[in-house]
Amino acid sequence: MNALADKHVKVITGNAAAAHGARLCRPDVVAAYPITPQSEVVEQLAKWHADGSIDCEYVTVEGENSAQNVVCGASMAGSRAYTATSSYGLVYMYDAMLNTAGYRAPVVMVNVNREPPGIHAVCSGQQDMICVRDSGWVQLIAENCQEILDLSIQAFRLAEDHGIQLPVILNYDGYYLSYLAEAVNIPSVAEVDDYLSILKTQPKRPTLIPGQGIGCGSHGIGPGFVEARKKHMDALDRVYQMVDDIDAEFDQAFGRGYGGQLEAYRCEDADIILVTSGSAVGTARTVVNARREAGIKVGLVKIRLFRPWPIQRLARVLKGKKAIGILDRSLCFGWGCGPLHMETKAIIPTIGEFIPMLGFIDGLANMDITKEHIDKMIDDIYSASKGNSYQEVTWLP
């Protein structure tokens, strides 16, 4: 029945790449509920489960809250557990997500970015991942279909590492990536097994055992609570190095490396920098290349790790630059700017100097982040770098 060829390049969507990524990591338990623009992930995994292409427990649930509770419980029992959601589905499982993080259950979840409730929009936008920013999950962001597949594999490697034991969300833009079909190199199960085999050499993580009384975060009073929270924070601190290391290991194994926490593209000799994430990075690369040819020393920072925020590495890249632009596909309510912008402002003490920072809000609700928009952003950042006054936050279009 297994019609899946082991190794080849296929033209597939971002959603299909995510499904392949999950399949290749051979999850024990999958529980997910379909929602636009994620449905294809769930449909594909259900189809493979039905035809025997993947050997897992597939739990059909009546909603996302149950899906998260199922994968949390399965993970605590020692399973490799996977789910996928988007927008309304993500916020519908919020309480369960907090449990998964608090219980240190290393679930891997895809979140296909879509505008969450408030103004009903079946449209792309990163606001959903911002809603769960402080849930204690690790959050990664992919730029293209190949990276969705590769980062799915890295996500399991990261979540289940004995030094981490945290749930991981892999985010990618709805529509612009979920439905985008590109050529994707699909590795074999054996290759992925090999990459993940290091996890088997590590001490076994504590799991629920029927009949045995083990506390897993269900109650914590006073010092026990504080200890658990502190350990969670410490694990997030270890994520930084681990993300860089496993990306380097991945490059060794598959010949594709992405820079770990972030990618600094043409930043070394740059005077000005644009910081962004997700599908907008691809478009921004083309604009940066064109501007470089025209003699503008502009660089691009791609944020791959959103939680924990890559404080040290980002500060190192930005130090000494003359002006910085930050392009956000979501809003930071209460700060009057975008979330990546707010987080970049927060590292000014780490950078150790004041640098003009210009925020740009674009790409909400499927609005296209065009080359022309990014050109305008670079014009504004360049102008600020020359000492001209600038607008702190600009909404496009």
Partner 1 sequence: MSAKEIRLHGRGGQGAVMAAKMLASAFAIEGKAVATFPMYGFERRGMPVIAFTRFDTEQILEKTQIYTPDLLMVIDPTLLSLPTLFDGLKPGGVLILNRDKPLADHPSENLEKVGVVNATHIALCEIGRDIPNTCLLGALVKTTGWLNLTSLLTALGEYLDGSMLEKNIRNATRGYNETEVQTWDL
Per CB under 8 A, residues contacting partner 1 are 9-11, 13, 36, 122-123, 144, 173, 175-177, 179-183, 279-280, 282-283, 285-286, 366, 368-371
Nearest distance, CB of residue 15 and partner 1, angstroms: 11
Closer to partner 1 by CB, 75 or 276: give it: 276
Write the single-letter amino acid at 341.
H
| Six token digits for residue 187 | 């590795």
Nearest distance, CB of residue 371 and partner 1, angstroms: 7
d(CA 383, CA 140): 32
Closer to partner 1 by CB, 98 or 122: give it: 122
CB 299 within 8 A of CB 346: no
Closer to partner 1 by CB, 97 or 374: give it: 374
| Six token digits for residue 297 | 């020393």
In 125-198, beta strands by DSSP E: 138-141, 168-173, 181-186
Residue 149's region, left for phi above 0, alpha for psi from -120 to 50, else beta, is alpha
Closer to partner 1 by CB, 319 or 371: give it: 371
Handedness of CA 277, 279, 281, 283 (dihedral sign): negative
Nearest distance, CB of residue 173 and partner 1, angstroms: 8
Nearest distance, CB of residue 281 and partner 1, angstroms: 8
| Six token digits for residue 129 | 């991942």
Nearest distance, CB of residue 39 and partner 1, angstroms: 9
The DSSP bridge pattern shows strands 323-328 and 298-303 to be unpaired
Nearest distance, CB of residue 380 and partner 1, angstroms: 19
d(CA 134, CA 307): 8
Closer to partner 1 by CB, 21 or 37: give it: 37
Peptide bond into 397 cis (omega under 30): yes
CA-based nearest residue to 125, from 361, 376, 374: 361
CA-based nearest residue to 62, from 81, 86, 38, 89: 89
Closer to partner 1 by CB, 16 or 101: give it: 16
Task: List the beta bridge partners of residue 302.
Answer: 263, 276
Total residues found in the chain within this entry: 397
Nearest distance, CB of residue 16 and partner 1, angstroms: 10
Nearest distance, CB of residue 285 and partner 1, angstroms: 5
Closer to partner 1 by CB, 79 or 171: give it: 171
Which stretch of DSSP H or E encloses residue 98? helix 94-102
Q: If you search the block for the tokens 């820079």, which residue do you land on?
A: 259
| Six token digits for residue 170 | 């892999």
Closer to partner 1 by CB, 143 or 343: give it: 143
Task: List the beta bridge partners of residue 81.
Answer: 29
Closer to partner 1 by CB, 9 or 233: give it: 9
| Six token digits for residue 166 | 């945290």
CA-based nearest residue to 176, from 248, 243, 125: 125
What is residue 350's three-state secondary structure?
helix
Nearest distance, CB of residue 375 and partner 1, angstroms: 12
Closer to partner 1 by CB, 183 or 214: give it: 183
- Residue 364 is classified by DSSP as G
Nearest distance, CB of residue 183 and partner 1, angstroms: 6
